[in-house]
Amino acid sequence: MQKQQSLMNRAEIRQIIRQKRNALSLEQQSNAAKLISDKIIELVTPKDVVALYLANDGEISPNQTIRHLQHNEVTTLLPVMHSFHKGYLNFQSYLCTKNTDNTIMVKNNFAILEPKLNALQTYPLSQIHYIFMPLVAFDANGNRLGMGGGFYDRTLSKLAELESRPKLIGLAHDCQQVDELPKQAWDIPLDLIITPNKIIVPDQ
């Protein structure tokens, strides 16, 4: 993306990048998902607790990764909209086998499937090793632009207070990178960004 686009506001960037992302063919999406899955698999160990997501609106899909991790008995979680802390997320265990959900799934307010809330199956942030996050746009400094709801930023706002904290990793298509994102005070930077063609370690 040209440098002039770094001067755009967040809404304009969000619109442009979503259009680029949604213009990708099914074959391009599938190939991209396979490439990021290979990179994630090299990173995660069987002892890790890993939070991912179910793709929506052209987001790069981690479904292959989820199936592989569960085959290797890695604990996998999905975000669930908090039932009484509005705007926050819980991370809850998720199990699927052969493309079938073994976890009871429901649609949230955005019509996105998520596990039916079960407090006994949620994990605190201090027990999660990696949170793989969707995003609309990112830059080389680890800045992330989401869909605008602020769910991840609010949920992760107290990370600095934890003795043990998860590593935050953004998953994206290469076309989602911009030169520079306008930052807000509440933005939580990423520790790593994985795209089909590269792994970016931000300069913080």
Known binding residues for ATP: 10-14, 144-152
Alpha-helical runs (H) found in 44-123? 63-71
What angle, rounded to 10 degrees, do the helices at 63-71 and 26-43 form? 40
Cα–Cα distance for residue pair 157/63, rounded to 1 Å: 27
Tokens of 3: 């440098």
Tokens of 1: 């993306």
Instruction: State the binding site for substrate.
Output: 54, 59
Instruction: State the binding site.
Output: 10-14, 54, 59, 144-152
Cα–Cα distance for residue pair 36/174, rounded to 1 Å: 11
SS (H, E, C) 17-53: HHHHHHCCCHHHHHHHHHHHHHHHHHHCCCCCEEECC
If you search the block for the tokens 């040209």, which residue do you land on? 2
